[in-house]
Amino acid sequence: MEERAERLAQYIVENRTTVRAAAQKFGISKSTVHKDISERLPQFNRALYLQVKEVLDVNKAQRHIRGGIATRKKYRGT
């Protein structure tokens, strides 16, 4: 589990991706990614956790914008 958490964290930091995208890439659920990143990773690699947290905080701040764009595309048929 530690190895998976570390691979997930590195993927998120390198690609500046979302939890959803990481879950899809690794074939696991979003809740598993979240648990690995938020609970397991800080126990053995605090520095990497802080890098991932920074990326996820940016994603969280932009979440409402991405949702609006998706809604616009849905109703415009694009």
Q: In this predicted structure, what is the pLDDT of residue 77?
A: 76
Q: Residue 23, Cα to own-chain centre: how many angstroms?
A: 8
d(CA 41, CA 5): 6
Which residue do the tokens 């932009």 mark?
62
Helix, strand, or coil (residue 20)? helix
pLDDT value of position 78: 59
Per-residue pLDDT, 48: 92
Average pLDDT, rounded, for the chain: 90
**pLDDT of 1 over the 70 cut:** yes
The reported pLDDT for the residue numbered 39 is 92
Span 47-68, mean pLDDT? 89
